[in-house]
Amino acid sequence: MEYHISTGILTCVIIFYVPFETKASESLVVTGTGHPVFAYVEGEVVLNCSVDSSTQSLEEVTWKRKDNEIPVLLYEEGKVRSDSSHDRYRGRAEFAKENSKSDFSLRLKDLRTVDKGEYICVVHSGQLSANTTVTLLGLGFSSTQTLVLVLCSVSLVLSLGSAALYYKNRGGCYVKMI
């Protein structure tokens, strides 16, 4: 309260100070690779999922197949829940960086041709939810696998050629028609 006296008139000015808190707006941004990913059969691949959040903790991060909602990997209440993974991914899916608060990239090991497709990383934090999609475009053969395939093909051609020469030069095989 303040008092001002001027020319015999008493003026009373009351000023109230009301404290108030401004709450910064919460944000949750999830980003992925931004382009399709290519990998090799029997190899491994990392599908990126980075989280930028103004909230203190993430409640849940879920990786799943976008086409049929198959669960691949789950992070919930500060723990990785590998037991919630579909049988197809159990033992082959893990977070690329353990104990990271912002990187929830998925590492898929021992890749199979059926792994090709779209994967979605869904993040929940309080009332906020965001996601990113990463496409595993195709699974080709590694240079070693290609070399083995070529060598097998050459072997087959040589074996068939040798067999044909053997039967051609063997002679004495006649069929008599009656």
User: Which residue spans within the chain are E strands per DSSP?
Assistant: 2-6, 9-13, 28-31, 37-40, 45-47, 50-53, 60-65, 71-76, 79-80, 93-95, 106-108, 117-125, 128-140
Cβ atoms of 73 and 120 within 8 Å: the answer is: no
Residue 21 inside a domain? The answer is no
Give the number of domains in the chain.
1
CA distance 146 to 150: 6
Residue 159 maps to a domain: no
Mean model confidence pLDDT for the chain: 77
90 domain-assigned = yes
| Both tokens assigned to 95 | 């977070």
pTM for the complete prediction?
Answer: 0.65
**Residue 43 covered by a domain:** yes
pLDDT at 48 over 60: yes
Query: In 3-state terms, what secondary structure has residue 161?
Result: helix
Instruction: Give a yes or no: residue 168 inside a domain.
Output: no
- pLDDT (tens digit per residue) in 56-72: 678 899 999 988 889 99
Position 169 scores a pLDDT of 65
> Is 167 within the bounds of a domain?
no
Backbone angles phi and psi of 147, in degrees to 5? -60, -45
- Max distance between CA atoms of the chain, in angstroms, equals 149
pLDDT for res 50: 92
Tokens of 16: 């109230």
Do the Cβ atoms of 134 and 117 come closer than 8 Å?
no
Residue pair 63/72 in contact (Cβ under 8 Å)? The answer is yes
Q: Which of 17-21, 22-26, 84-88, 96-100 has the largest mean confidence?
A: 84-88
CATH code for position 50 = 2.60.40.10
Query: What's the whole-number mean pLDDT along residues 74-96?
Result: 91
Closest CA to 63 of 28, 125, 99, 105: 105
Question: Does 51 score more than 50 pLDDT?
Answer: yes
Beta-strand runs (E) in 32-97: 37-40, 45-47, 50-53, 60-65, 71-76, 79-80, 93-95
Q: Which residue segment(s) compose the domain that 112 sits in?
A: 28-143
Query: Has residue 36 been placed in a domain?
Result: yes
pLDDT score for 22: 43
